[in-house]
Amino acid sequence: MTDRRVQGPVRIVGAGLLGVSIGLALRQKDVDVILHDSSPSTLTLAVDYGAGRRAQPGDEPDLIVVCVPPDVTAPVVAAELLAFPNALVTDVASVKLGPLTELVEMGADVSRYIGSHPMAGRERGGAASGRADIFVGRPWVIAGHDGITYRRANPVENLALDLGAVPIEMDAAEHDRSVALVSHVPQVVASLLAARLSGATDAAVSLAGAGLRDTTRIASSAPELWVQILGANAGAVAPILHALRDDLDGVIAALDAVDAPGSRRAIATALSAGNDGVARIPGKHGTAKRFAQLTILIDDRPGELARLLTEIGELGVNMEDLRLEHSPNAQIGLAEIAVLPEKEETLARELGARGWKIAGVSE
């Protein structure tokens, strides 16, 4: 038997990206996973992928994980609580206060319910996008409330740990305020910025680099799901967008009169505030440590990236992060390697001696 905390059976309701990913991860630990989805074809696909089995008469799950859209989370949780009176039920919706409030108003037995939210996902949804490793190293919020004991909620923490996630305790209201800032508002900003590309010329788009890709990557997410998420967390999202609009108005005013006294200072202050903010984002393993970025040119042919990584290892330098980008209209790639600042000079010198072309260094 594979080492595990969750013994099962675990029932997963909703065989989309998160449901299938949880199922795949649990099946790797030989946990009995029961899958259910309102769509027969989606359920069949999830079973075919090996995320679990179909429900059978007499199933008695210990833990139920509801993985459905936010607007139906509470009714589905309530139905599962009634159908399986001995099971603990959690959900993975990206808003927590709304479902809890709705369940209490419905008179559901919240002594067996605790909301949770793995901060993991992909731009593409659906069963076919499921992966067992998407939770590894990612925060998994467990939103406790007064109606449930810590001991009763412990299986959800065990689930997060078995999937390689990092459990974080946070009440529902604090969770919703937090994700509004770090997830929901970024989605809106990325989408609005990406929308500006619709009317751009092909020549302009051909100049796109890592900066644009980084700031618009999540704009390819499904609008249908995000309408629900933003609607459910509107009270937390709107104030942040109001403040962001005020900051943007200040920059616009400065640019409209860029030669006026104080305009350039106002722009610099706004950009400097961004420096301060990005410094708060945790780095590798949750640390605040900053890394040097070394950009290396790679010929676009098989084996070159593997050779680069091998030589970095031979030099005894630990690579903290890696990002790849293809140069437009050229048969080369750009590998941006993050290393400790004290290793940057040595690595650049040694790789240069081995024939690698260093495109740039930045911290």
Q: Do 10-171 and 285-362 come out as alike in CATH topology?
A: no
The Cα 26–Cα 165 span in angstroms is: 13
Summarised one tens digit per residue, pLDDT across range 165-176 is 999 999 999 999
Residue among 95, 93, 142, 88 nearest 111 (CA): 88
Between the alpha carbon of residue 300 and those of residues 79, 160, 167, 335, the distances in Å are 54, 39, 41, 11
Domain 10-171, CATH homologous superfamily name and number: NAD(P)-binding Rossmann-like Domain (3.40.50.720)
Q: pLDDT category, 122, cuts 50, 70, 90?
A: low
pLDDT (0 to 100) of residue 30? 95
Q: β-strands 139-143, 166-169: how paired?
A: parallel
Name residue 278's amino acid.
V
Mean pLDDT, the chain, whole residue set: 91
Please tell me the predicted confidence (pLDDT) of residue 358.
87
Cβ atoms of 300 and 326 closer than 8 Å: yes
Q: What is the pLDDT of residue 285?
A: 47
Per-residue buried b or exposed e for 72-102, using 16+ beta carbons within 10 Å of the residue's own CB: ebbbbbbebbeebeebbbbbbbbbbbbbbee
Distance CA 145, CA 264 (A): 48
List the chain domain ranges.
Answer: 10-171, 285-362
Decide: helix, strand or coil at residue 2.
coil
Integer CA distances (angstroms), 67 to 99, 130, 172, 228, in order = 13, 13, 17, 14
- C-beta of residue 118 within 8 angstroms of C-beta of residue 92: yes
Nearest to 97 by CA among 152, 212, 206, 176: 176
For a pLDDT cut of 70, what percent of the chain falls above it? 94
- Model confidence over 271-293: pLDDT tens digits? 999 999 988 887 654 545 567 88
- φ, ψ for residue 336 (rounded to 5)? -100, 110
If you average pLDDT over residues 34-56, what whole number do you get?
A: 96
Residue 155 is predicted with a pLDDT of 96
Instruction: Provide φ and ψ at 80, rounded to 5°.
Output: -70, -40
The four Cα atoms 78, 21, 34, 26 give a dihedral, to 10 degrees, of -120
The helix (run of H) or strand (run of E) holding residue 44 is helix 40-48
CATH number for the region 285-362 comes to 3.30.70.260
Which residues 6+ apart lie within 8 Å of 89 measured at CB? 63, 64, 66, 77, 80, 81, 112, 113
* 225 has a pLDDT exceeding 50: yes
* Model confidence at 341: pLDDT above 80: yes
Residue with tokens 């139906």: 72
pLDDT score of 271: 95
Q: Which alpha helices (DSSP H) does 163-280 contain, by range?
A: 172-179, 185-195, 202-205, 210-216, 223-232, 234-256, 263-278
> Averaged over 82-102, what is the pLDDT?
97
pLDDT band at 360 (very low <50, low <70, confident <90, very high): low
Please report the pLDDT score of residue 242 as a whole number: 98
Helix axes 185-195, 223-232, angle to 10 degrees: 140
d(CA 349, CA 282) in angstroms, rounded, equals: 29
- What pLDDT score does 61 carry? 97
The DSSP bridge partners found for residue 36 are: 13
The pTM assigned to this predicted structure is 0.80
85-89, 108-112, 117-121, range with the lowest pLDDT: 117-121
Q: Tokens in use for 191? A: 């989408």
> Cα(101)–Cα(129) distance, rounded to whole angstroms?
31
pLDDT digits (tens, 9 = 90+) for 297-337: 888 888 888 999 999 989 888 888 888 776 665 677 888 88
Residue 262: C-alpha distances to residues 39, 244, 251 (Å): 60, 20, 11
Distance, CA of 296 to chain centre: 28
Burial readout 112-130 (b: 16 or more C-beta within 10 A, e: otherwise)? bbbbbbbbbbeeebebebb
